[in-house]
């Protein structure tokens, strides 16, 4: 995405058409951990890049009752899906936010692998930002500021601590659903799923961004993979904390990888300047180089 004026205007116009309602193709880069929801039992935040119709732009699809979708609708990260979208219902005025109009009309078009040229091509075209730029933008204009972005972390490290568990209101939401089948909650949702458990640990990344004079950021990791990994560790009798360190630090922050964080902010108006790490993109440098070579040979 180039930052010139005409492309900014193209993005603005495309977003207007998205909110008016249409079918778009989205390359998925974010699936956050499920959290309790009064309406849908539990939901996740999905975000990605619109690849068609262009121009390339960030979108947030929220809420998505992912665990309750039919299996064939349960897309993986780095899939390209086709989905009907429209303006969100409840005053989420963030420019990237959309709602899914019919969960049963989600179609998975393509799953891109880690060596897929397509995957690297899309990510290459995303204009990077920094955590400091996102923060100051949301401070200055909580309603209209950019609320999703790709940043390069400098000297990142992870902090892991015991989770505080669900809040009182989240607990009440889960209890309220326990005697009730997902079926009762609307014809859209057909799958029941086991009650949502809070994972034992939460984690943060501490790093500097590329803005000159950046002091430090400490941002919570909301990626679903963090929760899923802990479930697997529990199931297999592993130590969840060391599993987190191994995957989210040793592997994801390895020097062999060109690691980027996808940041997103909170919906509540007074918390818009609070950004979290929604997803980690950590391709091997050699895979990026190979894909770029393949791309250049196409022209
Ligand atoms: Zn910074």
pLDDT tens digits for 219-234? 999 999 999 999 999 9
Query: Of residues 40 and 97, which shows the higher confidence score?
Result: 97
Q: How far is the CA of 203 from the centre of ligand 1 (A)?
A: 19
Q: How far is the CA of 21 from the centre of ligand 1 (A)?
A: 36
> Tell me: the pLDDT tens digits for 64-95?
999 888 888 899 999 999 999 999 987 788 99
Distance CA 7, CA 48 (A): 18
Candidate from 8-12, 115-119, 177-181, 196-200 with smallest mean pLDDT: 177-181
Dihedral angle over CA of 291, 152, 62, 88, nearest 10: -100
Q: How far is the CA of 94 from the centre of ligand 1 (A)?
A: 21
Q: Mean of the per-residue pLDDT values for the chain? A: 91
pLDDT at 2: 46
| Helix or strand holding residue 160 (H, E) | strand 154-162
Q: How far is the CA of 154 from the centre of ligand 1 (A)?
A: 9
Q: How far is the CA of 213 from the centre of ligand 1 (A)?
A: 8
Q: How far is the CA of 227 from the centre of ligand 1 (A)?
A: 26
pLDDT of 101 higher than 70: yes
Query: What sign for the dihedral angle of Cα 133, 136, 139, 141?
Result: negative
Q: How far is the CA of 153 from the centre of ligand 1 (A)?
A: 9
Would you call 213 exposed, middle or buried from its count of C-beta atoms within 10 A (0-12, 13-18, 19+)? exposed
The pLDDT confidence band at residue 5, using thresholds 50, 70 and 90, is low
Q: How far is the CA of 151 from the centre of ligand 1 (A)?
A: 10
State whether residue 202 is helix, strand or coil. strand
Q: How far is the CA of 265 from the centre of ligand 1 (A)?
A: 15
Q: How far is the CA of 152 from the centre of ligand 1 (A)?
A: 10
Q: How far is the CA of 133 from the centre of ligand 1 (A)?
A: 7
Paired strand residues for 59: 48
Q: How far is the CA of 202 from the centre of ligand 1 (A)?
A: 22
Q: How far is the CA of 237 from the centre of ligand 1 (A)?
A: 38
Measured in whole angstroms, the distance separating CA 294 from the mean position of its chain's CA atoms is: 28
pLDDT at 68: 87
pLDDT at 1: 45
Q: How far is the CA of 128 from the centre of ligand 1 (A)?
A: 13
> Tell me: the pLDDT tens digits for 277-295?
999 999 999 999 999 999 8
pLDDT at 92: 86
Q: How far is the CA of 263 from the centre of ligand 1 (A)?
A: 12
Q: How far is the CA of 163 from the centre of ligand 1 (A)?
A: 26
User: Considering the entire predicted model, what is its pTM?
Assistant: 0.93
């Amino acid at each position: 995405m180039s930052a010139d004026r005409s492309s900014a205007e193209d993005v603005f116009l495309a977003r207007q058409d998205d909110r008016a309602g249409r079918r778009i193709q989205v390359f998925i880069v974010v699936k956050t951990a499920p959290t309790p929801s009064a309406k849908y039992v539990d939901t996740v935040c999905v975000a990605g890049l619109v690849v068609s119709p262009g121009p390339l732009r960030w979108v947030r699809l929220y809420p998505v009752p992912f665990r309750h979708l039919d299996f064939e609708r349960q897309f993986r990260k780095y899939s390209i899906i086709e989905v009907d979208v429209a303006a969100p219902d409840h005053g989420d005025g963030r420019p990237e936010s959309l709602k899914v109009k019919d969960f049963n009309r989600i179609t998975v078009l393509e799953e891109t692998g880690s060596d897929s040229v397509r995957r690297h091509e899309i990510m290459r075209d995303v204009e990077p930002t920094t955590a400091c730029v996102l923060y100051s933008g949301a401070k200055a204009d909580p309603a209209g500021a950019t609320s999703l972005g790709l940043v390069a972390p400098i000297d990142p490290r992870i902090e892991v601590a015991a989770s505080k568990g669900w809040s009182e209101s989240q607990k009440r939401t889960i209890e309220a659903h326990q005697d009730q089948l997902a079926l009762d909650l609307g014809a859209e949702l057909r799958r029941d799923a086991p009650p949502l458990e809070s994972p034992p640990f939460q984690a943060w990344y501490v790093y500097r961004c590329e803005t000159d004079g950046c002091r430090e950021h400490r941002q919570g990791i909301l990626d679903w993979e963090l929760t899923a990994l802990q479930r697997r560790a529990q199931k297999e009798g592993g130590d969840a904390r060391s599993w987190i360190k191994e995957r989210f630090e040793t592997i994801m922050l390895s020097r062999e990888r060109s690691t980027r964080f996808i940041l997103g902010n909170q919906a509540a108006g007074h918390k818009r300047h609070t950004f979290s790490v929604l997803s980690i993109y950590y391709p091997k440098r050699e895979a990026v180089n190979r894909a770029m070579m393949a791309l250049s040979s196409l022209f």
